[in-house]
Every structure is written in structure tokens, then in C-alpha cells.
Structure 1
Amino acid sequence: MALVTMRLRSAPLEDWLRDYYFTAEIDISSSGVHSYSMAELRALTGLEHAEIDGLVFDDGYSLGAPAVRSAIARRWGGLEPETVMTTSGSGEAISLVLMALLRPGDEVVVVQPGYHLLVEFAAGLGCSVRPWRLTAGTGWRPSLDELSGLVTEHTRAIIINFPQNPTGTSITEAELSTLLSLAASVDAYVLSDEAFTDLTYDSAPLPTVAARYERGVSFNTFSKAFGLPGLRFGWCIGPPALLAECVRIRDYTTLHVSPLVELLALGVLGNAEAFMKPRRELARANRDAVGDWAAAHPDLVSLVRPAGGVSAFPRLEGIADVDAFCDDLFKRRGTLVIPGSCFGAPEHIRLGFGGRPEPLAEGLGRLTRALEQARA
């Protein structure tokens, strides 16, 4: 395994949240659902204190505890446990796979606007990054014709995230099949961040890419649809040979996931719908509320209704400096949104609707008043 030298740019999203996240009075910025407490986790899983007390803090398995890997393999794709690696959030899984797979000069297709890890990490590894651009003018709809023009015989990987963060757009199962056929024609990998797969509203969830394509790698996490971001549990599903390369890198960093985290994760995996269903129903109602709000204020915002996830990406009409507006919204009205510049779309904001309905309604009201005042 060749060593790599990283040259990463700053992550504007994390820079923004680092300053504001913990002191916001109203947070309508998040891309996850309302978080569960430990008491709620224990109630939903049936986990007893005796099970926690019996845990011994030994070292863990490099690829994850066998029972946890089996539970993931059964639910997502019906594959063998050998194709699963558990990680500290999906961020670790994505970075390990990218470091194991990519070399300087490799061509990589990424979706923009997008989450910084999926967009910037390959560039930091010295890859030639080819943006697959989504535009508001087409309703953020991905164009497979455009993708076809980006893929060449030198393409090493196509990195996707559908439903997508921050726009909420997605593709159909038929379009996914076309994408996989395109990748297969040049022997490219497809790396699929599936954190929002279980948060869809108008169609069934997309299939696990790793189960559909031999060079497919699927990533997922408890941080989005499960409402457990602080647990820092994620995983990837992919070719065992690639996972072995990930372990070689991990041997120098985190080594393994905590046995306490995996104990809790096993209980959650065995009761997955109990965690996701109520949050999905809440998000569906909140999505309608955000859509109604945007429709009532066409002079202030324009919004493409998200197909999945819990974030919308409205354009703010008549606001010359959206970053300054968002800063003022936080400082004067205690309300947190994410400026679209964090995703390379400076006329937009990321607006999260996965939380409780009362703060969402209050936050939208404050946002409306700030927009009206700014345009007065």
C-alpha cells in the first residue's frame, strides 16, 4: 500500500457550525433528524443496565464485531458479513475507502453542490476531480447525459449521495442502473453515501449499491435517519479486498470501533424501524410545512421540494450577501441556517426540517421576518 500525502482545504460547513452550533437558540440547519436520548435508546432496544455493566472494555475487531457486521449485511443488501466494516461514523468509512482506493492523478467524478468529504477529499489526495454539477434551474435533477460526458476510460471512481445533501434531490432505480452500467463500461468504482436512503417520501428507497455492483461501495450511518449522531457509528459495505486495504490504514489510526458503541449499535440494528419510522413521519410533515412556507413567500424564497433527506436548499431572493445575512440571522435572531457558500452555491441556504415542529415553525417565522426586513 502506497503512502499518501494529504493537502486538504478547510471545510466551510464545519467552520460555520463550529462557531454557531452549540449556542443557537433555534437550529433549522441540520441534515439529520431529531436526536434520541439514552433513555429512549434503551426503551426502544430493550437494553438492560446489566448488559451494559457486563461489558468488558477489551480491544475490538478491526472490521467490527461479527454480530454487528452480520446484522448490517442482513438488512442492507443481504450480503455476506465479510463485506462489512464498522467505523466511527460514515466519515471514517468514506475517508478510509478513498485513501485505500485512490492515487494522485486518478480521475474522480463528484456531485456538486455536495458535502465536503465527498467533494474535497479526493482532491486532497491529488486526484483529478470532475464535478457532476446540479443546478437549481433544472430542479437540481442529475443529468445522466452530463455524467456520461464526464466519465472516461481513466475514471477511477464516481462518488454519489442520493438522496443528496444539501439539495434533497435523488435519482430513480432505473437511473441508478444506468449509472452502474456506465461505471462498469470503464471498470470504475461507484462509492455511494446512503445516509439518507431511508428518508424518502415519494418513492421507495434506492437499493444498496454494493449489492448491485461488484465495484460498488455503500456507506451509511446512525447520524441521519436514526437520530443518533453522537453515537458516532457508521459502516461501509464493499469488496473484502478493499476493506483489507482499509484495515492497513486503520492500523495506524483508530484501530476499531469501541465495544460499547457496538453493543448499543447491535440493539439499534435489531430495532431499526422503531428508530426510523417515527422520525421519517415527522420529517414528512415538516417537509410539507417547509413547502407551504415557501409557497406563501415566493417573493422571498424559491424552493425545489426535496425528494429525500431532511434538508431543503432554497434560494434567497434579493439578498446580495447570503453569508452576511445568515450571520445576522444568528446574531440578532438566534436562528441557525447554513449559507449555501459552504456548498459552492452562495445564493442559497441549507434549511433542515428533521427536528421538532415547534422550533421549525419558530425558525421559519424568524427567517421570514429577517428576509422582509432585509428587503425593506
Structure 2
Amino acid sequence: MKFEPAPLEDWMRLYYFAVDDDIGSSGVEDYSLADLRAMLGIDAAELDAVVFRDSTSFGSEEVRTAIADEWGTGDPERVMVTHGGSEAIYLVLSTLLDPGDAVVVTEPTYHTHTSIARTMGCELRVWPLRPENGFRPDLDDLRAVVGGAKAVVVNFPHNPTGASLTPEQRDEFVAICREAGAYLVWDQAFREMVVEGEPLADPVHDYDRAISIGTLSKGYGLPGLRVGWAIGPQDVLRGTLDLRDRMTLHLSPLVELLATRVARNAGLLVGVRMEQARHNLGLLRRWAADHPDLIDLPEPMGGASTFPRLLGHADTTGFCHDLAREHRTLLVPGSCFGDPARVRLGYGGPTASFTRGLDTLALAGEKARVQN
């Protein structure tokens, strides 16, 4: 398959490793191996005992059990461990969908939720997340497009907006998918990253056609570990093997060891990082209130990013290029998500760097406003 361009990945390739301050990413501050060893009690002998044999196609029983216990139904036979959530999304959608199938997706959205289906020749039906509603989902908009759909693909809390469902809406949402007979691909990359309240219940617990996609890249600060998973019906997981046998085969035993330990101590790792993100969000709110001529900030319900409008910019792309090149600060233009007047502003990173990034954004924004 020949995929359409992925502007977000192009942008991150260009600038992610070329800046000093990152206020554009959607994850939290990264952990080091030393951090993991200290927090999880992993000693050198445990690492030395790893033998670099092949693993199984679905992942070792130990890591699948740990994931099933923490995020799934407790049944490791319904878990497949993947190279990040991105591989899980690709395998699941490529297995579920056929050309001509109708697929419901949110807009704006993360690119893999749409590009795989579009490349396969599916009919994409948009469930719009409307800026005038603070990007809060409207279930009546979903009802208008879900009839006859093969699958509904979502992630809540949402990337890039930080919008989500209430627990009551979540139950109604699952009921709508059930009534339509659609598969529900629930990308829960940001599940634990809620601003207030508790994480939403994963639909794999109450809908037999739900497939949950998870990752250690976002709330767990481990993007370089490249661990994701899919939890769902066994026939769907088995169907992914034709692709996996021609791609990645399995994970490294060393990666599986670390992933197992993380899964068994998940609350410890995500709790520290979400406390930091909530603190940074408070700083962002105060900063936005101090700069009403620069930014229109929607209130996120979760995740570690929001999708504000930069006032005075019909297209923020050039401004974000200048911010990276001249000020070594990463901000993602909304053109990467189909709304060029906005930016993805991430608040999950180290507080000192986040504060510097906001100061730089204010200076650059004021300079651009004066010039215009």
C-alpha cells in the first residue's frame, strides 16, 4: 500500500531532536533505564539473566498476563504485545477492514486512525469534534454517521485536543456502537492521563467487538521502549499474524522484561508524571490568562496536550517553523491535524523546560503581532 503523507511525523522528524524546549509533544517526560531500575527494583542480575532468544508472536505469557491484569480482562489469551501502539493500530485496522467498508473517525485526529483505512479504499465518515464546543464529542453527531459502519476508531482522551467523554457518555457511546454492530477500536494511549476524576472504563470489559490499543509511550514516559498492545477478540488477534510474520515477528525478551515490570507497577510510573502534567497545566492556564491577545485556550479533559488557536494566524505553520529554527522551541502547527489556525501545545514535559517554552512563545508571538 502507498500511504498518504503524514505531516505530523514529518514535522517531528524535522524538529524533535533539533530543539531545546518541547511544548508540542503529546507525552510526558521520559524515564531513563536508571529511573526504571531504581523505581521498580530491577537489579543487574535480573538483566544479566535475559537470554536473547526469540519470543512468541503474541508476546511472552508473562508480559501478556501483566498487561491483561492491569489494562485488560485478566485473560492473556486476548492480548497481543506490539512494537508501540502504532503497530497495534496498523495490524488491527489492516486485519479488520476491507476496501469499501465504512469507518467512523473523529476529526481532528491522529493520522494513523484515518490514513490506513483511506489507503485501503474504505469510506471514511467523520465524527466532528467541534471547536465551538471545546472539542467535546456530541453523540448525536456520531449517530448521524454510524449506521452500517464496519468500525468506529477513536481515542479518548483525545490527541491533539485533550477532549474526552464523561463516564455516562462513554456508556452511551458503547451502546451506540453495539446497536450499529460496529467494531470499536478504542485507542487508550492516554487512558490514565485525566485532568480530574477517574479514567474511563475500557470497552473490552463490556463489548465483545471492542479492541483496545495501548502503549507505554505516552503517560508512562517510555516511547523509546516501543511497547504497545492490542486487547480484543482472539479471532481478530490471530488474523493479524499474516502481517506480523512479514514485519516484526515479536518483541525482544529484554523489552518484554521491562514491560512486564512496568505493567505490574503502572500506577507508580504514571502517577508521578501526571502530577507533573497537572502542575504544568495550571501554569499554562495562568500563562494563557496573561496573554489573551495571543492564545484562545480550550480546556482539556485529559491527555497532555491541548489544541489552542493562535490569534492573528490563519496558518501557524510558518510561525512554528520560526519558533523551532530561531528559538529552538518545538510547537506543532495545526496543519498537521487539518486545522492550520491552531497548534498542538503539550504540557507533559519537564516543568523548567515547559516554562521556558511558554516564555519563548510569548516573546515570539508578541514580535509576530507587532510585525503584522
TM-score after normalising by structure 2: 0.98
Q: Match for 1:51 among 41, 46, 50?
A: 46
Aligned residue identity for 2:338: G
Three-state SS of the structure 2 residue aligned to 1:350 is: strand
- Which segment is superposed worse, 71-80 or 156-165? 71-80
Instruction: Say whether 1:14 aligns with 2:12.
Output: no
- Cα shift at 1:71: 0.9
Contact map agreement 2:315 2:335 (CA 8 A) in 1: no
Distance in 1 (CA, whole Å) between partners of 2:299 and 2:146 is 29
Which residue in the other structure is 1:37 paired with? 32
Distance in 2 (CA, whole Å) between partners of 1:147 and 1:220 is 23
Which residue in the other structure is 2:280 paired with? 286
Which residue in the other structure is 1:136 paired with? 131
Contact map agreement 2:88 2:229 (CA 8 A) in 1: yes
Which residue in the other structure is 2:263 paired with? 269
Which residue in the other structure is 1:253 paired with? 247
Three-state SS of the structure 2 residue aligned to 1:129 is: strand
Q: Match for 1:66 among 61, 74, 86?
A: 61
Q: Match for 2:113 among 118, 132, 135?
A: 118
Which residue in the other structure is 1:354 paired with? 348
Contact map agreement 1:60 1:257 (CA 8 A) in 2: yes
- Cα shift at 1:47: 1.0
Which residue in the other structure is 1:173 paired with? 167
Unaligned runs of 5+ in 2: none
Distance in 2 (CA, whole Å) between partners of 1:200 and 1:339 is 24
Aligned residue identity for 1:365: D
Distance in 1 (CA, whole Å) between partners of 2:243 and 2:315 is 42
Contact map agreement 1:319 1:374 (CA 8 A) in 2: no
Which residue in the other structure is 1:301 paired with? 295
Distance in 2 (CA, whole Å) between partners of 1:320 and 1:186 is 39
Which residue in the other structure is 2:78 paired with? 83
Contact map agreement 2:310 2:342 (CA 8 A) in 1: yes
The total of aligned residue pairs comes to: 370
Which residue in the other structure is 1:149 paired with? 144
Contact map agreement 1:319 1:375 (CA 8 A) in 2: no
Please list the CA deviations of residues 208-261 of structure 1 after superposition, one character each: whole Å capped at 9, or x if unmatched. Answer: 111121000001101001100000001110001110001222111111111110
Aligned residue identity for 2:101: D
Distance in 2 (CA, whole Å) between partners of 1:329 and 1:76 is 38
Aligned residue identity for 1:36: Y
- Cα shift at 1:50: 1.2
Contact map agreement 1:310 1:352 (CA 8 A) in 2: yes
Unaligned runs of 5+ in 1: 1-5
Which residue in the other structure is 2:21 paired with? 26
- Cα shift at 1:78: 3.0
Distance in 2 (CA, whole Å) between partners of 1:186 and 1:364 is 45
Contact map agreement 2:314 2:340 (CA 8 A) in 1: no
Contact map agreement 2:315 2:342 (CA 8 A) in 1: no
- Cα shift at 1:186: 2.1
Distance in 2 (CA, whole Å) between partners of 1:254 and 1:244 is 15
Three-state SS of the structure 2 residue aligned to 1:263 is: helix
Contact map agreement 1:57 1:260 (CA 8 A) in 2: yes
Contact map agreement 1:313 1:350 (CA 8 A) in 2: yes
Aligned residue identity for 1:114: T
Distance in 2 (CA, whole Å) between partners of 1:226 and 1:335 is 23
Three-state SS of the structure 2 residue aligned to 1:288 is: helix
Three-state SS of the structure 2 residue aligned to 1:22 is: coil
Distance in 2 (CA, whole Å) between partners of 1:272 and 1:138 is 33
Instruction: Say whether 1:182 aligns with 2:179.
Output: no
Distance in 2 (CA, whole Å) between partners of 1:64 and 1:248 is 16
- Cα shift at 1:321: 3.1
- Cα shift at 1:368: 0.6
- Cα shift at 1:119: 2.2
Please list the CA deviations of residues 133-177 of structure 1 after superposition, one character each: whole Å capped at 9, or x if unmatched. Answer: 112111101110010000112x00000100000000000121111
Please list the CA deviations of residues 34-74 of structure 1 after superposition, one character each: whole Å capped at 9, or x if unmatched. Answer: 00011001111111111111111111111111011111111
Contact map agreement 1:45 1:270 (CA 8 A) in 2: no
Which residue in the other structure is 1:3 paired with? none
Contact map agreement 2:73 2:204 (CA 8 A) in 1: no
Distance in 2 (CA, whole Å) between partners of 1:187 and 1:319 is 43
Identity %: 47
Contact map agreement 1:130 1:150 (CA 8 A) in 2: yes
Instruction: Say whether 1:240 aligns with 2:230.
Output: no
Contact map agreement 1:167 1:311 (CA 8 A) in 2: yes
Aligned residue identity for 2:25: S
- Which segment is superposed worse, 245-254 or 234-243? 245-254
Contact map agreement 1:33 1:354 (CA 8 A) in 2: yes
Instruction: Say whether 1:363 aligns with 2:357.
Output: yes
Which residue in the other structure is 1:228 paired with? 222
Instruction: Say whether 1:317 aligns with 2:311.
Output: yes
- Cα shift at 1:7: 3.1
Distance in 1 (CA, whole Å) between partners of 2:304 and 2:367 is 27
